[in-house]
Amino acid sequence: MSEQDFIRALQNGDQLAFKQLVESWQNMVFNTVLSIVQDRQEAEDLSQEVFIQIYQSVKDFRGEAKLSTWMYRVALTKALDAERKKKTKKRMANLRSWIGLGEKEENLAHFHHPGVALDNKERAALLFRTMQQLPENQRIAFTLIKAEGLSYEETATIMNLSIKAVEALMHRAKENLRQKLKHYYTPINK
């Protein structure tokens, strides 16, 4: 079945096509969301929300981009919205704590991504925590290219940017990460 036929089946409400979509793309959606929110349970919940949104809005999909590109956009948007809500909630909790109305909210101490080998978990957790400090577009580009293994071209399409803009974001992300992590790693060659 061609991608166009598959999309038409989804748009016509074909349950088998949707089941196939979920089975084929659930890991991609989960890993993308997890790379942003860095909490397994939240990523599972948001991944379900992503597929619900895709199911509800696939009729409006015009095919101007590949289906996978559109799905990445939905997953990223859902994850980034959740992050924004968490930050707002955290600011309010800190304000309430400051004025004596509640407990200060603690940061997550550890984060483990399923794609990271066991012996690298500690370093990966540090990297993912540090990635949270990057500006949003740098973090998205870095996540899609380094964590998801997408090409610069695919990332540019998903982010609706030029390849040169993605290259610039990656350069700045790497520089920012290098600066933030320089105390944790010593260069082999000076």
Q: Which two tokens stand for residue 39?
A: 């909490």
> Which tens digits make up the pLDDT trace of 15-68?
999 999 999 999 999 999 998 998 999 999 999 999 999 999 999 998 888 999
CATH of the domain at 91: 1.10.1740.10
CA dihedral of residues 108, 114, 120, 123 (deg, nearest 10): -30
Q: Are residues 188 and 155 in the same domain?
A: yes
Q: Is the pLDDT of residue 168 over 60?
A: yes
pLDDT band at 107 (very low <50, low <70, confident <90, very high): very low
Looking at residue 84, its pLDDT comes to 86
Other C-beta atoms lying within 10 Å of the C-beta of residue 77: 12
Q: Looking at residue 107, what DSSP letter applies?
A: P
Domain boundary residue, one of 76, 108, 140: 108
Q: Do 101 and 128 fall into the same domain? A: no
Last residue of a domain, one of 82, 108, 134: 108
Domain extent at residue 57: 1-108
pLDDT at 19: 96
Residues 93 and 130 placed together within one structural domain of the fold: no
Tokens describing residue 84: 């924004």
Where are any strands of DSSP class E within the chain?
none
Task: Please report the pLDDT score of residue 100 as a whole number.
Answer: 57
Global pTM? 0.70
- Residue 106: what pLDDT? 44
> Do 33 and 80 have their domain in common?
yes
Looking at residue 46, its amino acid is L
User: Cβ(129)–Cβ(181) under 8 Å?
Assistant: no
Alpha-carbon separation of residue 149 from 1, 31, 97, 163 (angstroms): 26, 11, 41, 16
Number of separate domains in the chain: 2
Look up the CATH number of the domain holding residue 179.
Answer: 1.10.10.10
